[in-house]
Amino acid sequence: MLKATFLSILISLIAITTYGQIPEKAFEPVVTITVKKTKIAKDPLGRGGSATESTYQKTLDNNFALNYGTGFIIKQNGKPYVVTSADIVAYASEETGSIFINTTKRNKYAVKYLGGDSFYNIAVLEFVDEPGSELSAIQFRENAVLVGEPVYAIEAPSGEYPYSVANGIISAKNGMFGGMTGKYGYLQTTIKTLSDKSGSPIIDKTGKLVGIDSHITFANAPKGEEMMQSYIGFALEAGVSKKIISDIINNNGRVKRAFVGVEISQKFEYDYTGPYNYILVKKEELPVITGTIPGSPASSTLSDKINWQVTKINGKEVHNVEEALGELEKAKPGSTLIFSLKSGSSSTDVVINTGELKAIELEHMVRFILGQNKNIVVNFDHSQVQFKMKESNFYYHNNYTISKYEMSGKSMQDDYYILSAGISTETSKSMWLTRNLSEMGAAFRLTGTAGLIDFYITKPNEPGEKIELLRQYLSNDENVIKSTLWY
């Protein structure tokens, strides 16, 4: 008994010594974000034009709830801005009075969306109301954090428990995680969050920003449903965050990206470890060049290297599509990339001068991707994405079961419209509006590494304008995941 008491006291003393206190001023830049008016699906990489609301309102059935989250104040060029997660404001309406923040002094300010990046899950808001003098900006930490260093999250995940502090340590650096967002430049932490909301500042003991809470990880529970792993979290590190935020503010709300015009893919198979649980096993040891977009920088340099394996990008070894993506994200428009390739006993280096990813490049990307699907005929002249089915290579995905989409009773002359694209599961939805080709290109880029794309489609003028959720496996085989990167 005495031994157990001593051990308990010792653990408490270690916790106090390790974590200590954070300064009171650390709370001042943190704000609660409230979304008062929402719409039906996310905009990819920013805001677009108008939508046919009567149809879009049927696309998703759970996106009209008010949303709450955490953000924090920064200053750039002497002007205050609010930084938060793109997930929190992705459904916010463009109407005035849609987004508000509340400060530690209980003052309320109207803000509006300035810009963001779905890939890194960051959004920047600017003030509509004149910001008050009580607002304090957070300071970015300049020197690197250490593995094992104590860190803290200040969060207001639902508005009910504002300014709650959670602590943990840096458990890994330069982290990578799966999914549809940025892959590298992440800190892994053991902070136990109150919810799966992102956007909270991760600070050190002095109150300086070391990262932005971005994601916690999920695992499959015994019956296949997703289960939150609250002690494995990721935060986009301060240096990367600062660069992206600056890009958004100085570049009309978006992050400038290089454009190569290459398709890189890698196939995996399911290895089931139980009735509902599985791991993905490589069918291809290295990522492979599987296509080039006509007229792109890659079309003149890589079009004769189809099915060659990618071993390095700019001298850095890559073992999968995710690592290739991490290296390509480092490139700037107008820079040079060196692809190291091999095919059998042959190897070579290919030099590519990058362009800049803009709306027209995204449109060309969609024409290339959909043009490869020989089972549909796409009308690229229509203002919205419209297609006819010759033969179905789509699947229904419902209640953890997969079934082929049958063409029986359907005419090959029927027109279908794609309303949104992304991934929709029983426990979560990440669907982006596809009101035009460039928005669809952005949604494809965000989704392709998962090896599948979900679509909400409808037939015009059909009674009730029925909405259907279909899934396409990029491998055209539900048993094979073809992780695909378009860059």
Total Cβ atoms within 10 A of residue 363: 17
Tokens of residue 16, six digits: 């106090």
Task: Identify whether the C-beta of residue 114 lies closer than 8 Å to the C-beta of residue 249.
Answer: yes
b vs e for 285-306, b when ≥16 Cβ sit within 10 Å of the residue's Cβ? ebbbbbbbbeebbbbebbbebe
Q: Give the pLDDT of residue 287.
A: 97
| pLDDT reported for residue 250 | 92
Just give the CATH number of 24-127. Answer: 2.40.10.10
Token duo for residue 109: 């300010």
Of residues 44 and 470, more confidently modeled: 470
What is the CATH topology of the domain spanning 258-356? Pdz3 Domain (2.30.42)
Question: Alpha-carbon distance 289 to 324, whole Å?
Answer: 11
What span, in angstroms and rounded, lies between the C-alpha atoms of 454 and 480? 16
Q: 59 pLDDT exceeds 80?
A: no
The predicted model scores a pTM of 0.78
E strands, 238-323, where? 258-259, 262-272, 278-282, 288-292, 309-313, 316-317
- State mean pLDDT over 451-476: 82
Of all residues in the chain, what percent carry a pLDDT higher than 70? 77
Q: Which residue, among 468, 466, 470, has the nearest Cα to 478 in the 3D structure?
A: 470
Helix 359-371 / helix 437-447 crossing angle, nearest 10 deg: 70
Q: Sign of torsion, CA 211 128 64 383?
A: negative
Tens of pLDDT, residues 406-440: 766 566 678 888 988 988 876 667 788 888 899 99
In the predicted model, is pLDDT for residue 142 greater than 80?
A: yes
What is the rounded distance in angstroms from the CA atom of residue 173 to the CA atom of residue 353?
Answer: 30
CB 472 within 8 A of CB 453: yes
Q: Tell me, what's the pLDDT at 319?
A: 93
**pLDDT at 12 exceeding the cut of 80:** no
| Element holding 80 (H helix, E strand) | strand 79-84
- How much is the average pLDDT of 480-484? 94
Q: Evaluate if residue 15 carries a pLDDT over 70.
A: no
Residue 347's pLDDT is what? Answer: 97
pLDDT value at position 157?
54
**Full DSSP string of 242-258:** HHHHHHHHHTTTS---E
Rounded Cα distance, 191 and 392, in Å: 46
pLDDT at 48: 33
CA–CA gap between residue 154 and residue 70 (Å, rounded) = 8
Tell me: pLDDT of 223 over 60: no
Q: What pLDDT does 139 receive?
A: 95
Question: What is the CA 445 to chain-centroid distance, rounded?
Answer: 10
Domain assignments of the chain as residue spans, ordered by start:
24-127, 150-250, 258-356, 378-486
- CATH topology assigned to domain 150-250: Thrombin, subunit H (2.40.10)
Q: Fold match between 24-127 and 150-250?
A: yes
